[in-house]
Structure 1
Amino acid sequence: MKIRALNAELVAKAGSLVHHAFAPSRSELRRFDALHANHRPLHEWVCIHRNEVIAYICFSRAFCGKELCGLHLAPLAVQPRMQGQGVGSELLAFALRQEPITSQPIYVLGHAVLFQRFGFIHCATPLCPFARGNRHFYSLRSTVTTPFTIGYEPEFYP
């Protein structure tokens, strides 16, 4: 198993993985495609096993108004037949050690069991527009104390 930065050769394979990991919903795949089509600045890695992309992780910009305030982790996708085997955890651990991930606050909307193992804590502020009462919204290295609603790239909004 190898972890590599996403490159042009692997985008289609990563997109296919996102499709399978989140099926039958197509919203994650539409977002993946739109973020790439619009050339948003992303930090992305894939896990490759036997020439197949089996996991994908992406970090996109987080905003306070128009100012950058960190990164959003979304999505973390693992090939369904490989889920529960530690592949996603290994990819997440790797990504959290990379620059510029190590030097910025990270925000994620997800499951406590996974993300708390990596030091994420429940986030009361900033407010997440996709999580009522910030339920399932976590942060790593956030020092925010002033309430505001965190912003995402336009592709995250319906």
Structure 2
Amino acid sequence: MKIQKVTPENRPKVYALLQRAFPNSNYETLLVQKFHENNRPIHEWVCIHTNKVIAYIAFSNAYNGKQLCGLHLAPMAVAPDFQKQGIGSELLRFALRQEAIKSQPLFVLGEPAYYARFGFEPCSQPICPFDQGNTHFLSMHNSSNASFEVGYEAGFKSAALPPGKQGKKRRPR
């Protein structure tokens, strides 16, 4: 098993993994595709076993208005036939040690009991627009006391739109 940065060559394998890991949703696959298509800044790694992508993790920018305020962990996925073997935990621990990640405030919308094992704590500020009451919104290295709604990359909203409502692709300038 090898962990490496995502390359353009293994992006199709990432998309296939996300479809297998989230069989009832296209959201995660569309989100990552939009990050790639729009050249959005993203920190992402895959876990490869016998030339197959079996796990994936991504961190994208978090915002306070237009100001960068940290990173969002999303999505994270493990192939169904490799779940419950500690691979996702190993990948997350690896990512949390990386220079681009370890010094940033981190945010995740997820299962509190799972993410607490890695040092994430309940987060009352900032406010997550996708989690009323912030019951599943957690953070790490977050010292913000300011009350604001945390912003996400545009892909988080447009990936949720039905086909045909996503707007025209914009060319990078």
Alignment TM class, shorter chain as reference = over 0.9
- In the aligned structure 2, how far is the partner of 1:119 from the partner of 1:80? 25
- In the aligned structure 2, how far is the partner of 1:87 from the partner of 1:153? 27
Q: Deviations over 1:48-94 (max 9, x none)?
A: 01110000000000000000000000001000111111000000000
- In the aligned structure 1, how far is the partner of 2:121 from the partner of 2:84? 22
How high is the TM-score relative to the length of structure 1? 0.98
- In the aligned structure 1, how far is the partner of 2:89 from the partner of 2:123? 21
- In the aligned structure 2, how far is the partner of 1:75 from the partner of 1:9? 19
Structure 2 gaps, min length 5? 161-173
Q: How many residues align?
A: 158
- In the aligned structure 2, how far is the partner of 1:28 from the partner of 1:14? 10
How high is the TM-score relative to the length of structure 2? 0.90
CA-atom RMSD in angstroms: 0.7
Structure 1 gaps, min length 5? none
Give the 3-state SS of the residue equivalent to 1:9 in structure 2. Answer: helix
Q: State the one-letter code of the partner of 2:11.
A: V
Q: Deviations over 1:32-52 (max 9, x none)?
A: 111111110000000001110
**Bigger Rg, structure 1 or 2:** 2
Q: Hey, what does 1:60 align to over in structure 2?
A: 60
| Identical residues among aligned pairs (%) | 53
